[in-house]
Amino acid sequence: MTARTPEEVHQRWLQAINDGDLDALMGLYEPEATGVFGPGQVATGLAAIREGNQQFLALRPRFELRVAQVLVAGDLALLLSPWSMTGTGPDGAELASRGTTSDVVRRQPDGTWRFIIDNPLGSGAVAETPQR
């Protein structure tokens, strides 16, 4: 799964997350990327990011995400995208949260784009109580 524009990184990420496709998801990261998986939970490198994403996918998350702003400077781009998520916790309880990313992607030598920093908590995430 490749992204030909910075915006496509988030579109491909959304598809991979909602499909539960860890391999497609991991194809969106540079080898030395850094990912944030919660407050104080920072992972660097593909092995650590894979482990964080695998644990995250176990929640069976469903995301909505809208690419709101893309700022490009040469081979780097900052993506600001509001999102909302629902899922199921390890205890079976419903989860819901929302936030806005502040992700950095970089153009690769082949023209594709990948995460160098994946920070979904850019503006902080807000936990919500699901409606029953």
Give 127's pLDDT tier (boundaries 50, 70, 90).
low
pLDDT at 90 exceeding the cut of 90: no
Question: Which pTM does this prediction carry?
Answer: 0.90
Full 3-state SS string of the chain:
CCCCCHHHHHHHHHHHHHHCCHHHHHCCEEEEEEEEEECCEEEECHHHHHHHHHHHHCCCCEEEECCCEEEEECCEEEEECEEEEEEECCCCCEEEEEEECCEEEEECCCCCEEEEEECCCCCCCEECCCCC
Residue 89 is predicted with a pLDDT of 87
Mean pLDDT throughout 85-92?
A: 91
Class of domain 6-127: alpha beta
CA angle 4, 103, 71 (to 5 degrees): 65
pLDDT for 62-71, tens place per residue? 999 999 999 9
pLDDT at 128 exceeding the cut of 90: no
Every domain of the chain and the residues it spans = 6-127
Residue 122 is predicted with a pLDDT of 87
pLDDT at 7 exceeding the cut of 80: yes
Residue 38 is predicted with a pLDDT of 86
CA 122 centroid distance within chain: 11
Contacts of 91-94 with C-beta under 8 Å, sequence gap 24+, read 94/130
Distance CA 32, CA 63 (A): 25
